[in-house]
Structure 1
Amino acid sequence: MRKIHINNDDNYATPPYFYKELDKRFNFDFDPCPYCEGEVVDGLSIEWGNSNFVNPPYSRKLKEAFVKKGVEEMRKGKLCVFLIPVSTSTELFHDWIKPNATEIDFIRGRIKFGKLDEDGNFYLPLNKHGKTQSGTKDSMVVVFDGRSATL
Structure 2
Amino acid sequence: MKIHGDWEITVIRQILVRSTAGIFNEEGTLAVFKETQEKAPTLLPWAGLTNAENWEMSGANSLQMIRGMRIWAFENNCVCLALVLSNSLKQKIHQQQTNGINDPRIAYFSKLKDACAWLSERGFPITEDEYPHRAFLERTRPNNS
TM-score, normalisation: structure 2: 0.38
Q: Which has the higher helix share?
A: 2
TM-score, normalisation: structure 1: 0.37
Report which of the two structures shows the higher radius of gyration computed on alpha carbons. Answer: 1
Q: Which has the higher strand share?
A: 2
